[in-house]
Amino acid sequence: MIIFKKADLLSGYLSQLKEQKKTIGFVPTMGALHQGHFALINAAKKEKHFVVCSIFINPTQFNNPEDLKHYPVTIVKDIQGLVEAKCNVLFLPDIKEIYPDNYKKKYYRLGKLETILEGEYRPGHFQGVCQVMDRLLQIVQPDTLYLGQKDYQQCMVITKLLQLLEKKQVQIEIVPTIREEDGLAMSSRNLRLNEEQRKKATTLYKALNFIKSNQRKYPITTLEERAKQQLINNGFTVDYVHIADRSSLKKATSKNKHPVALVAASLDGIRLIDNLLL
Ligand code: AMP
* pLDDT number for residue 256: 87
Q: 203-209 — which CB contacts under 8 Å span 24+ positions?
A: 203/230, 203/231, 203/234, 203/236, 204/231, 204/236, 204/263, 204/265, 204/272, 204/274, 205/179, 205/274, 205/276, 206/230, 207/231, 207/241, 207/263, 208/261, 208/263, 208/274, 208/275, 208/276, 209/183, 209/276
**What is the distance between the alpha carbons of residues 143 and 172, in angstroms, rounded to a whole number?**
9
> Given a cut of 90, is residue 209 above it in pLDDT?
yes
Mean pLDDT value across residues 148-161 = 98
Active site residue 34: no
> Given a cut of 90, is residue 268 above it in pLDDT?
yes
Mean pLDDT value across residues 131-157 = 98
| Tens of pLDDT, residues 94-119 | 999 999 999 999 999 999 999 999 99
Q: Is the CB of 148 under 6 A from ligand 1?
A: yes
Cβ contact 93:71 at 8 Å: no
Q: Is the CB of 29 under 6 A from ligand 1?
A: yes
Mutate which of 27, 29, 187, 274 for ligand 1? The one with the most ligand atoms within 8 Å of its CB, which is 29
Mean pLDDT value across residues 46-62 = 98
Residue 54 CA to ligand 1 centre (angstroms): 12
> Given a cut of 90, is residue 257 above it in pLDDT?
no
Q: Is the CB of 147 under 6 A from ligand 1?
A: yes
